[in-house]
Amino acid sequence: MRLYLVQHGEAKSEAEDPERSLTLRGEEETRKISAAARKLAIRPVRIYHSGKKRARQTAGIIAVAIDLTSQVGQGLNPNDDVRPWAERVSGETEDLMIVGHLPFLEKLASFLVSGDEAAKVVMFRYSGIVCLEKEESGRWAVDRMIKPDNI
């Protein structure tokens, strides 16, 4: 089982846009990463995103590129507790994608890989995809990262 964690694309400042929509760069980089995901046959069964506009927009761009739909997942805001999602994804057998925010994604990845949400096992980047893989033993490992500047 693979879990794809995606930090939303670059967003406008709150002063510029209180809803924090994606910037043009954020949209372009997300389209670029989405095209790479399609070429790499990244195909989760579901894409979850937080209710925040920047995450919804990022998930929408990716979903269109890989012919899926996305849906709001409760408990995916920046400072939400990662344990409910850690339990949820650990019980899954099919690939999933979560589009969200820091520090949530960073803490979730760290908790799954090391058992310590403060370990900082991976550095996220706007529009980047971090792929975690669950081994047969139930342990998680970082499989790969795809960043817009590496494509």
Print the domain residue range for 7: 2-150
Q: What is the pLDDT of residues 2-56, one digit of tens each?
A: 999 999 999 999 999 999 999 999 999 999 999 999 999 999 999 999 999 999 9
Q: Say how far residue 94 (Cα) sits from the centre of its chain.
A: 16
Q: How confident is the model at residue 151 (pLDDT cuts 50, 70, 90)?
A: confident
Query: CB-based contacts of 26: which residues, under 8 Å, 6+ apart?
Result: 8, 9, 10, 11, 54, 57, 58, 126, 127
Residue whose entry in the numeric block shows the structure tokens 């990244």: 42
pTM tops 0.95: yes
Specify the CATH number for the domain of residue 86. 3.40.50.1240
How many domains does the chain contain in total? 1
One-letter identity of residue 36: A
